[in-house]
Structures are given as C-alpha cells and as structure tokens.
Structure 1
Amino acid sequence: MFLRSKIVSIATPLLLISQISFADWIKDATLQNESRTIQIRHQIHENPELGNMEFKTSALVQKELKSYGIEVKTGFAKTGVIGILKGQQPGPVMALRADMDALPIEEKTGLAFASKKKAIYQGKQVPVMHACGHDTHTAMLLGAAKILAANKDKVKGTVVFVFQPAEEGGADIDNFTQGDQIGSRKMIADGALSNPKPEVIFGMHVMSGMPSGHLYYKDGAILNSADNLRIQLTGQQAHGSMPWLSHDPIVASAQVINNLQTLVSRRADLTKGMGVVSIGSIQGGNVGNIIPEQVNMIGTIRSNSEEIRQGIIKQLPDMVQNIAVANSVKADVKITSYAPVTMNNKTLTNTMIPTLQAVAGEAKTHLLENNASASEDFAYYGKLMPALFVFVGATPPDQDMSKAAPNHSPHFIVDDATLKTGVELHVRFILDYPNVAQQVQQNWKAVS
C-alpha cells in the first residue's frame, strides 16, 4: 500500500512541551499489556478476513471492548465497531481509528501464526493474508482502549474508538461503482461519528522499511489521493491483413496511454505538487491476425495536490474522447474516487510533535520530506475535523531496511516489538490533546 518517503534528518522543535505529560505510568501500563496485545495480533493475523467480511474480527473487537467496560455500538459499514469511553474529567470528544481488513494474498512469511485461510473475493476463492498490518492496527487500538478504560480518571473528555472495515476495498461488491458503500465513507454515512461527534481524529499505519520503535510524521499531505479509471474504446473489427476495413481500438489505445502522460508532464503545474496517471490493465483481442472491436483499460490517478488532482480528472475525459474521434472509434470514460489527499492538520501535527517524541524519543521521531505515494480512506475523516496520521516503523531494526518486504507483499512482516509503540502513542494522543485543543480548533475554524 505504501512506498517509502524521504526523511528530513533535522532536529524538530519541542512545541508546547510543558503541556505534555510524560508520566511513567503510561509506559509501564503499555509494557504490562504488551503480551496480550501481541496475542491478539497473532490471533487476528492467523484468521484474516477480507473487506466487508470481517465478522469474526468484529466480534473479537466487540468482546474485548465490552470486557474493558467500554460502550459498544455496531451497525456501521456492515462490520464496523464503535467504542465509547467517557473520561472522568471534562474535555473534548476525540477519535482513534484502526482498520481491520486483510488482502487477497497468499502468505509466504513462514511465521508460526501465518495465515492459511481462504475466502471468497469477487466471486472467486482466494488465499487471505494481513499483508498491510491491519491486524496490528486493530490490536494496538484494543491495547490502548484497555489502558485508557483502566485509567479513565485521567482522561479529559470522551474517546471514540473507530474500528473500520474495508479500507482495502470490499470483497463482495464492485469497488469501482460502489466505493462509497465501504470503508470510512460508509462509516461516516452510517453515523458512526455522529453521537458523540469527535472534534479530532488520530490514525497510524505500520510501515515496512522503517525500523520498529520509530515514528514518522509530516504536516499537510501525508498520502496521495486515488481515483479509479476505466476506459473502453469501441471500433470496428477486421482482418489483421486489412486494417483499412477496421476502426482500430488497439492503435487508439496506444495513443491514449501515451497522451495521458502529458496530463502531468505538460498540463499540471508541478510547483503545486505531483501527479501520476497509470494504466495497469489493458485487454483487447484474442488472436494476432484479427483487429478487435473493443479494448478495455483500467488505471489509477494519484496526486498530493487537490488542484492537480481535479485538473487531471477534468481534462482526462476530453482528451480520450478527442483521441477516439481522431481514430474513428468511440470512447467511454469513467472515473470514480477512492480517496482524496490525506491531509494532516498543520497545527495539530506541530502541537503533537512532543507527544511523538515522548513515545519514541527525539532521535527516533522523524520528519518526512515527502508524502508517501499510496492512498488511504482515512482522508475522509480529515475532511470533517482536524486529523493526524502517522507512520510506525514495522521492520526489525537489525535488518536491512532497503531489503524489507514491502506492505502488500506475501513476505511482509511486522516486528511485534513495535506494537507497544502504537499502543502508547494512541494513549498519549488522548491524554495530551486536551491541552492543545483550543489552539487546534481555533485554527481549524479559521481555515475551514
């Protein structure tokens, strides 16, 4: 899901450090619960479930939350779960989010708790694996929920624990045409964040190629937008030896693919950010001596700039239609959204730097120079409230980071030692945010 980003190796100023609690009890509680957090992670990893089908994972989350004394709500996005913890001190409503779904990938890690499960994806039986670390996200948030519930006398305000399905897409629907029926969009549409309504949300993602115990952050764009693209070119079939009798969609498709690249290289203002248009699938014809009637292409559009993104989306259909006319074929172009740019609120990010450093230490807290190129539907939460999304190192520090199997690889692993980092960070987000809430909300209202 993610690609590595450059890191700025500069010291980060300690902002509002006097307001942040560095109480030793948080680390102690995290360590005391570490074995249980790892146990839950292994259980989920060994029993992965695809998007929209996380029934057992959802049941496990509900059972755990109830055992901590946390109010549980369901009925969101099919398998989504909301936990509500009311602190014993007045304060804001704050949300923490984890995703629960796995991927249609056959695991090849050789781990003792490796998945051997299979499930139905888009009508076909496939192997299933937690190849992006969502098992760790769920376990870390449960670990934090347990600690916060046991120390609710120290919590200022209300905590909303968001356990979201289908971040990677649904196994049982057409993700191109029904993308708004899964993941964060469906959680929001179903009222998961309505009662109570959070004023801020935090999320995190484990990342291969970054050492465990390290944290990575950036204000502004942290992940690209993602839009799905389908192009169908319909011409006239003819014998390959008589192309003058055809309207050739193969030749037209080649021109389309080449010209799509100019949407970025010649039309986008690259001082505003970056953009990518990639065609990942092209299907046309069956044999070499027949010019087919139709060619179908599937692709993706990515950008870290909303302005560049909207420019591509607006100009692409006209470009394809004009190329089609020039080649005497018909074009059908469809673009659907997966996620906008994932944006970290600047004020929230900067005021939380001391929190990150309290967890990982200043030397292991890194400012990213560039955003990651992949995308996340966490972005939709950031449209509603100030949001902060950070990366947690997943690779054992004694390994060569450049050789670590990436997220979405069948060899992808997460170092269990990093789970405590995520648990502690969730806890400290909740305990520290009330100290800067007024500043963050004032900024949010000023720019919204």
Structure 2
Amino acid sequence: MRIRFQSLPLGLALALACAAPAATAAPDAALTQKLVDWRRDLHQHPELGNQETRTADVVATHLRSLGLQPRTGIGPTGVVAVLKGARPGPRIALRADMDALPVTEQTGLPFASTARATYRGQEVGVMHACGHDMHVAILMGVAEALAGMREQLAGEVVFIFQPAEEGPPEPGEVFGARRMLDEGVFDDAKPDAILGLHVWAGLQTGQIGFRSGPSLASADEWSLTITGKQTHGSRPWDGVDPITVGAQVLLATQSMLARQINTVNAPVVLTAGQFQSGVRFNIIPDDARLVGTLRTYDDAVRADVITRFDRIATDYAHAAGATAKLDVVNNAPATVNDPELARRVLPSLQAAVGADNVIEMPLVTVAEDFSQFANVVPGAYFFVGTTPAGQDPATMPINHSPHYAPDEAALAVGVRAMLRTTLDLLGATPPG
C-alpha cells in the first residue's frame, strides 16, 4: 500500500484537544504528568535486555486500559498491540526500546536506580543510561493519544515495545529487533512504514535531529584470539608472545584505516574495548584475546575492512609463529532513513516543533537495531534533544554516562513529534 501524506487539519486538532493531545500542540497537563510519572517509575526499576518483565507488564497493562489487546512474550519480553482506525488506510508501526544498561547510576536523582543484576558473569548496577525509559513513556503517551481519536483514524497503528536493543546480557543471544522479527512480529500484516526515535544529549530540548539516507552506523562485535606459546617472562625466546602480536595487530588496523580505506567517503571506526591475557607478571601466556567494535555505513566497505583485518591478524601472527582467529558478529546493520519516507516525515517534524528546531543530523557512529525493522519495511528514525535551554550540549553527560539525566520536558516534545508524524502518514481527516 502506498502511504498518502496529508497534514493534520486544524479542525481535527481542535476537536480532539479535550480527549487527547492534538498533533499540533503539546500534550495537555494531565498526559504530561503521566509521561513524567511513567518515566520516573521505569527509571527507578530498570531491567537488562530480555529481562524486561516488569517493564513489559507496565506497558501491557496500560495498553489494555486503552481497549487494546497486546501480544506479550515476543522476543521474549516484547509487547505489541494494534490500534485499528474506523476506516481503511495505511499500517504504521511505532517502536520503542525498553532495556537498560549495566551502568551504576550516579545522577543523585530522587528516583535514581539502585538496581543490581548479573551481566556476562559480573555483578553490575543497572540504569536507564541511554534514555529508553523516556522512549517507553513517550510511546505509551502516543498510544493513549491515538486511542482517544480512533474513530477519526483511517488505517492502523502498530505499537512495538522491544527488548534488548542494547544487546542481551549473555553472549551469543540474538538482539531484540531481530528476535522479534524471527518470532513473527510482522507475520499477521507487514507495516507500510515504521518510525522510531531516540532521546539525545547532543541536542537542546525542543530540537529534533533528522537526516535522509544513512543515519546511524552498522555495529559489528569482533573477537580476535592470538594463540602463542607459554614461557617464562625472563626467557621470551623460548615461547611465542601473544600479547606483543595482539598489540602489533591492533596498531596495524589503525594504519590500515588511515592508509587503505577512503574514510572521506565512507567513515569507519574500529575500536578495541578489551585486551585480556595472562595471570602473572613473569609468565608469557599461551593466548591473548581482543574484543571490540567495528562501525561502518556501507556494506562493501564493511566487508573490505573485515577482510583486511583478518589478513593483518593472520600475517602478523604467522610472522611471530603464532596463530590468529577473527570472529565478527553483526549486531545491527546501518540505520538508513528511507529517502521517500524521509521526504514525507520532514514536514511533519517541522510542523511539530518549528522548522528552525529541526536540525539536519550528521552521521552518528552509534548503532541501533531499529535498522532490522527498517530493512524489512521503510523506516524513519529521529533524535529528540534532552539538554535544557541555557546549557551547552557539548558539556552535558551523554547517553550511556552514569550521570545522564535527560530533561523531562523532552517527553512532551517526543510525543508531539511522533503523534504529528503518525497522523500525517495516516492521512488523518476531520471527524464526521
């Protein structure tokens, strides 16, 4: 089905103002307070990926209160509900991610998280350090607003509350969006388009960040194992030092990016986040393991970098008498905003917050498994600023920081932007 684009008439907005927040205005005071209450409750009770049982129950209970019939247990804690309008029309999916991070909160907020959990064998604090509590509250608010105007809607809205966007707590598990797709989230009817958003410390509250085409990077998790030969640290010539080889390989990959890849046209980031080897100061160990991430925006460039990385590791290891094994797992493809959908979405975002407040985003090297959905149906993904007016975003704690404390005024901005965009894509018309 081809999506029809039509601005929400002012008459409809005014007619619905008492029942739900109008697409052209901020949510009313009652819903605004609900957004804050939901967000603070979720923030105080964060859950890691695939463990969002309480969060899913909060979401499902709210959706049932709106007269919807949510499906639960998808992927494994995801929640999906469909709102059917009074007339036929497009099917638009809206997605929010629910999971928190293994981060110990240091905001000092009165509703700060004190939750603890186990992440990959380590006891950790748990915090909504990326703002997914904001995402869930925003989509709950959008659902309430749209449910209040269902008799005026043409088409359907699919609300998707997704687990494990940050990744499951155990290695080898499938990330949330891919798992929801594998478990049939779109089996009953594929949407015509899907929308997603992310709160972002790099923008002021009231601003929206958006771009057409490539937006967020592909995320690969790589693991490199160098196997050498253990020996006494005082006699390195009797063994093969995997630590030295690992260091040589890591430095060589950075030279490869600087001298072999055209990063002007296709940005690439290759980072090691872990280097693990040995147990004692005077023993050269048998092996070393490096773990890191690769971020790219182009599939061909990604494949080329992985091939070169593998060759570098193999050749350096061979020269030292060691062996190397590189494993690469793609956790999320690049997020690409469908150009045609982006053309339709941009005027809606501008209408929601003002044209001057819609900022063309640069390429962002963070990744999002929203891309899994956007590879199945056309997708559009935008950023909602969370730095209060008068404060410099460059000096604020960013997403994933234990100090990240987004401005709650951004909740209403997110609802307004998502609601306006959804209604325009549905081609909403006045009642009667």
The CA deviation string for residues 135-156 of structure 1, in whole angstroms up to 9 with x for no partner, is 0100000000001011012222
Against the structure 1 CA distance between its residues 384 and 122, is the aligned structure 2 distance closer, same or farther, given a 3 Å change threshold? same
2:375 to 337, 359, 383: 383
Q: Which residue of structure 2 lines up, in the alignment, with residue 417 of structure 1?
A: 409
Against the structure 1 CA distance between its residues 377 and 418, is the aligned structure 2 distance closer, same or farther, given a 3 Å change threshold? same
The CA deviation string for residues 309-348 of structure 1, in whole angstroms up to 9 with x for no partner, is 1211233222211221111001121111111111001111
Please show how residues 321-400 of structure 1 align to structure 2 within 5 Å: 321-368=314-361, 370-400=362-392
Deviation (angstroms), 1:386: 0.8
- In structure 2, distance between residues paired with 1:99 and 1:410: 19
Deviation (angstroms), 1:194: 1.8
Q: Which residue of structure 2 lines up, in the alignment, with residue 49 of structure 1?
A: 47
2:419 to 394, 408, 427: 427
Please give the secondary structure, in 1, of the residue aligned with 2:49: coil
The CA deviation string for residues 146-178 of structure 1, in whole angstroms up to 9 with x for no partner, is 01011012222010000000111112x21xx23
Q: Which residue of structure 1 lines up, in the alignment, with residue 135 of structure 2?
A: 137
Alignment partner of 1:94 is 2:86: no
1:212 to 205, 213, 225: 205
Q: Which runs of 5+ in 2 are unaligned?
A: none
Counterpart AA for 1:208: A
Against the structure 1 CA distance between its residues 69 and 153, is the aligned structure 2 distance closer, same or farther, given a 3 Å change threshold? same
1:146 to 140, 144, 147: 144
- In structure 2, distance between residues paired with 1:29 and 1:197: 31
Counterpart AA for 2:133: D
Check whether the contact 2:165–2:176 (CA below 8 A) recurs between aligned residues. Answer: yes
Counterpart AA for 2:102: P
Q: Which residue of structure 2 lines up, in the alignment, with residue 292 of structure 1?
A: 285
Please give the secondary structure, in 1, of the residue aligned with 2:404: coil
Q: Alignment identity in percent?
A: 38
Please give the secondary structure, in 1, of the residue aligned with 2:111: coil
Deviation (angstroms), 1:102: 0.7
- In structure 2, distance between residues paired with 1:187 and 1:127: 26
Deviation (angstroms), 1:21: 3.9
Q: Which residue of structure 1 lines up, in the alignment, with residue 187 of structure 2?
A: 194
- In structure 1, distance between residues paired with 2:363 and 2:155: 32
- In structure 2, distance between residues paired with 1:327 and 1:124: 34
- In structure 2, distance between residues paired with 1:263 and 1:340: 22
Check whether the contact 2:164–2:176 (CA below 8 A) recurs between aligned residues. Answer: yes
- In structure 2, distance between residues paired with 1:17 and 1:331: 54
Check whether the contact 1:212–1:393 (CA below 8 A) recurs between aligned residues. Answer: yes
Q: Which residue of structure 2 lines up, in the alignment, with residue 107 of structure 1?
A: 105
The CA deviation string for residues 96-151 of structure 1, in whole angstroms up to 9 with x for no partner, is 00000111111111112111222232243321111110001000000000010110
Check whether the contact 1:233–1:329 (CA below 8 A) recurs between aligned residues. Answer: yes
Q: Which residue of structure 2 lines up, in the alignment, with residue 6 of structure 1?
A: none
Q: Which residue of structure 2 lines up, in the alignment, with residue 160 of structure 1?
A: 158
Counterpart AA for 2:373: Y
Counterpart AA for 1:93: R
Equivalent residues, number? 415
Please give the secondary structure, in 1, of the residue aligned with 2:221: strand
Q: Which runs of 5+ in 1 are unaligned?
A: 1-15, 437-448
Check whether the contact 2:43–2:113 (CA below 8 A) recurs between aligned residues. Answer: yes
Counterpart AA for 1:424: R
Q: Which residue of structure 1 lines up, in the alignment, with residue 224 of structure 2?
A: 231
Deviation (angstroms), 1:91: 0.5
- In structure 2, distance between residues paired with 1:272 and 1:71: 47
TM-score by length of 1: 0.89
1:37 to 35, 38, 44: 35
Alignment partner of 1:241 is 2:241: no
Please show how residues 279-318 of structure 1 align to structure 2 within 5 Å: 279-318=272-311
**RMSD after superposition:** 1.8
Please give the secondary structure, in 2, of the residue aligned with 1:193: coil
Against the structure 1 CA distance between its residues 356 and 21, is the aligned structure 2 distance closer, same or farther, given a 3 Å change threshold? farther
Counterpart AA for 2:397: A
The CA deviation string for residues 295-317 of structure 1, in whole angstroms up to 9 with x for no partner, is 11111111122221121123322
Deviation (angstroms), 1:394: 0.9
Please give the secondary structure, in 2, of the residue aligned with 1:30: coil
Q: Which residue of structure 1 lines up, in the alignment, with residue 115 of structure 2?
A: 117
The CA deviation string for residues 27-64 of structure 1, in whole angstroms up to 9 with x for no partner, is 55722411111111111111111111100000000000
Deviation (angstroms), 1:252: 1.2
Please give the secondary structure, in 1, of the residue aligned with 2:35: helix
- In structure 2, distance between residues paired with 1:314 and 1:201: 33
- In structure 1, distance between residues paired with 2:331 and 2:113: 28
Check whether the contact 2:297–2:334 (CA below 8 A) recurs between aligned residues. Answer: yes
1:407 to 399, 403, 408: 399
Check whether the contact 2:5–2:425 (CA below 8 A) recurs between aligned residues. Answer: no
Q: Which residue of structure 2 lines up, in the alignment, with residue 269 of structure 1?
A: 262
Deviation (angstroms), 1:262: 3.3
